[in-house]
Amino acid sequence: PLPTFWSDQHDFRLQSFGSPVLGLADIRVLAGDPGGDMLVGYHTDGGQLVGVVALGGPAAATGAARYRAQLLKQPALTA
């Protein structure tokens, strides 16, 4: 199963898919910007996507769905 959590804080939503902690070597903004809705990807040293965090409103959460599908197709990684 894919680790997933979400939290709503007033009008702000945080959603996480995968294991971002395994991808601290390479953190990239996949969409949006730090001043608004943002989608952040976490990658291994080899460039494999291992986690996605969506920050903001519904647009960021919708964008995360594509990356969630990608994470579901990958073999599991361990720390």
The end-to-end CA distance of the chain, in Å, is: 16
CA 16/CA 44 separation, integer angstroms: 17
The predicted-structure confidence for 42-75, as pLDDT tens digits, reads as follows: 999 889 999 999 998 878 888 888 899 999 998 7
The predicted-structure confidence for 13-22, as pLDDT tens digits, reads as follows: 899 999 999 9
| 3-class SS string, the chain | CCCEEEEEECCEEEEEEECHHHHCCEEEEEEECCCCCEEEEEECCCCCEEEEEEEECHHHHHHHHHHHHHHHHCCCCCC
pLDDT of residue 34: 79
Domains of the chain: 4-73 (3.30.390.30)
pTM summary value:
0.83
